[in-house]
Chain A
Amino acid sequence: MMHTLLYIDPGSGSFLVQAIVAAVLGIGYFFKNIRNAIKLFFWRLFHKKQKD
């Protein structure tokens, strides 16, 4: 294992890692945005009703 690690320097090996991490985070943030949009929708709805 150590042998492989030695060949992964910050300049090349972590590129693959970052591609995967960014992909996972992308999905995470995508759903977070949807969740926030839904929250905002209901918040507005609720807020509007209160105003009425």
Chain B
Amino acid sequence: MTSRHPSSYRDPSGFIFTHEGVLYRQINKCFAKNFEIFINSGLHDHLIKEEMLIADSIINENLTGSGDWHLTLKPQLIPFISYSYEWSFDMLKDAALLTLKLAKEAMKFGMLLKDATPLNIQFYKGKPIFIDSLSFEAYDETKPWIAYRQFCETFLAPLALMHYLQTPLQPMLLAYPDGIPLSVAAKLLPWKSKLNLNVNLHVHLQTKIAAKADNTNKSSKEFKFSASKLKNILSSLESSIQYFQLNASSGSWSGYYNEAEQREDYLDEKKAIISQWLSSLQLKTAIDVGANEGFFSKLLNDQNIEVLSADSDHFSINNLYKQIKKEDIENIMPLIIDFANPSPAIGVNNTERNPFLERVNVDLVIALAVIHHLAIGRNIPFAYIATLFKKFGPYLIIEFVPKEDEKIQLMLQHKKDIYNWYTEENFLKEFAAFYHVAASEVIGQSKRKLFLMQANEQAF
């Protein structure tokens, strides 16, 4: 069976589809010439060799049976598809820098990058990689960069806002999936952003000109462009992106483990129990719910398990990304996810971008020291939490934090205690509708308890 991907409708050059469960990309006749240049110029091979573009193989078979068919590509599969509203600041920054690098490389081969959006980038083995092999066309030096404004709205504006406001703004990317309109960004940016020449030109000036320009009188032919002008624009965009930083380091959970480590052997005990359980199971993939800076994700990574490390705290996830980048860790995918409100389905017909829950399909869920944040912090009943975890995969390692724990007492200092139901007995009772307990152990001297659970067959 062949089905076209619902998000693959914008570009007439081709589309993504699945055929008998395998993902392919069709190149249409109208793009044949450009694709030929892409291959013959050597750009295709060069980008794959440099690990900037996802590898693919050309298949000379019309799998869709469409009359527009020119070629079929079989790209290497990316295990987990994520979106920019789930990336931390440095992830988006690296994706932006990769896009500009691709634009520069393409010019060297006589081609132009015609799309500049985070949607064409995915994280693969810890690094951003470009996934759309139909984004390169023959370069006409007299024409400016067609993707300029798209780049400014999808990369430059969000990064500039996060830099100048020193606040993570991922929810804004969800609200504006096609990029934050420059007119909006210009209004939100503080006055001092005008002092930066690059930001002034690309955001403020662009907004002003766009508002004043009467396009009907002037055609684009009047503005002769050149390769050196485009290079200047790309270099200027690159130096602005390089300049942006989001350094506010004291997120509510950053440094959690430094503090947790001081608690007598608590982490070592926990690690030992989990390692022992892991060795008895054959697992390939996992999700670390409330991963913080990825202490336990790294434990899973050491056992060759691919991990989605998700947390709602931007600073923890950004630090984790910086670490995996520094240490070349390939199996950890950092993600900003609020488990009380995971990314929804968005776009045309609400089918363009899949919701988070539909994209996660792993062997193991680990939820360490997180249940009280969901149950008491966000008032979510145990049964709802179990429903959520069960959707991710069949095995669950969960830590139960009793109510007398000092962390919960700290939470209840500023909150009315309406959590009579928060007991281990209730927790086990409600989770029993979805899972059965395979093992359990108290962590060292603490009263916290680890459970290894397996989903009930009938729960699926």
Enumerate chain A interface residues (CB-CB to B < 8 A): 1-2, 4-5, 7-8, 10-22, 24-26, 28-29
| Beta-carbon nearest neighbor of B179 in chain A | A10
B201 and A5: CB pair below 8 A? no
B225 and A18: CB pair below 8 A? yes
> Is B63 located at the chain interface by the 8 A CB criterion?
no
- 16 additional contacts (CB under 8 A) given A10-B148, A10-B150: A2-B183, A4-B210, A8-B210, A12-B215, A13-B213, A14-B206, A15-B144, A16-B218, A17-B149, A17-B209, A18-B229, A19-B223, A19-B225, A21-B202, A22-B225, A26-B228
| Beta-carbon nearest neighbor of A19 in chain B | B223
Give Cα distance in the complex from A5 to B143, angstroms: 21
Which secondary structure characterizes the binding site on chain B?
helix
- Selected contact of B147 from candidates A2, A10, A22, CB within 8 Å: A10
A24 and B201: CB pair below 8 A? yes
B149 and A14: CB pair below 8 A? yes
A18 and B215: CB pair below 8 A? no
0/1 interface trace, chain B 163-187, chain A, CB 8 Å (1 if under): 0000000000000000001010000
Give Cα distance in the complex from A26 to B233, angstroms: 9
11 CB-based A-B contacts, threshold 8 Å: A10-B150, A12-B215, A14-B149, A15-B223, A15-B225, A19-B225, A21-B202, A21-B236, A25-B236, A26-B229, A28-B197
- Selected contact of B232 from candidates A1, A10, A26, CB within 8 Å: A26
Residue numbers in B under 8 Å from A2 (CB-CB): 183
> Is B205 located at the chain interface by the 8 A CB criterion?
yes
Residue numbers in B under 8 Å from A24 (CB-CB): 197, 201, 205
| Beta-carbon nearest neighbor of B145 in chain A | A18
Residue numbers in A under 8 Å from B233 (CB-CB): 18, 21-22, 25
